[in-house]
Amino acid sequence: MTHEIAVIPGDGIGQEVTPAAVDVLEELDVHFEFVHGEAGDETQAETGDALPEETAAIAADADATLFGAAGETAADVILPLRSIVGSFANVRPARAYPGLDALQPDTDMVFIRENTEGVYSGIEDEITDGVRTLTRVITEDASEQIAEFGFEYAKRNDYDDITIAHKANVMRETDGLFLDVAERVGEQRSAEYDTALMDALAMHLAMTPEDYGVVICPNLAGDMLSDLAAGLVGGLGLLPSANIGEENALFEPVHGSAPDIAGEEVANPSAMILSAAMLLDHLDYPGEAAAVRTAVESVLDSGPKTPDLGGSASTTEMTDAIIDEL
Q: By CB under 6 A, name the binding residues for ligand ATP.
A: 13, 17, 69, 74, 236-237, 255-258, 260-261, 267-268, 271, 306, 308
Give the active site residue among 160, 199, 211, 284.
199
- At a CB cut-off of 8 Å and minimum separation 6, what does 16 contact? 262, 263, 265, 267, 269, 315
Of the pair 49, 72, the CB lying nearest ligand ATP is at 72
Q: What's the min distance (Å) between Cβ of 136 and ligand ATP?
A: 19
Sort residue 18 into left (φ over 0), alpha (ψ -120 to 50) or beta.
alpha
Q: What's the min distance (Å) between Cβ of 147 and ligand ATP?
A: 25
Q: What's the min distance (Å) between Cβ of 4 and ligand ATP?
A: 26
Task: Find the residue with minimal CB distance to ligand ATP.
Answer: 256
Give the active site residue among 167, 193, 212, 305.
167
d(CA 279, CA 243): 10
Sort residue 265 into left (φ over 0), alpha (ψ -120 to 50) or beta.
left
Query: Is 305 a catalytic site residue?
Result: no
d(CA 269, CA 28): 17
Q: What's the min distance (Å) between Cβ of 88 and ligand ATP?
A: 20
Of the pair 33, 301, the CB lying nearest ligand ATP is at 301
- At a CB cut-off of 8 Å and minimum separation 6, what does 307 contact? 266
Q: What's the min distance (Å) between Cβ of 141 and ligand ATP?
A: 27
Burial 24-35 (b: 16+ CB within 10 A, else e): bbeebeeebeeb
* Burial class, 10, CB count within 10 angstroms (exposed 0-12 / middle 13-18 / buried 19+): buried
Helix (H) or strand (E) holding 236: none
Of the pair 55, 174, the CB lying nearest ligand ATP is at 55
Query: Is 223 a catalytic site residue?
Result: yes
Of the pair 201, 261, the CB lying nearest ligand ATP is at 261
**C-alpha distances out from residue 142 to 79, 194, 232, 301, 307, Å:** 16, 20, 29, 39, 40
Give the Cα-Cα-Cα angle 202, 275, 75 (nearest 5 degrees): 70
Give the active site residue among 76, 227, 281, 320.
227
Of the pair 13, 59, the CB lying nearest ligand ATP is at 13
Query: Is 212 a catalytic site residue?
Result: no
For the annotated catalytic residues, the residue numbers are 120, 167, 199, 223, 227
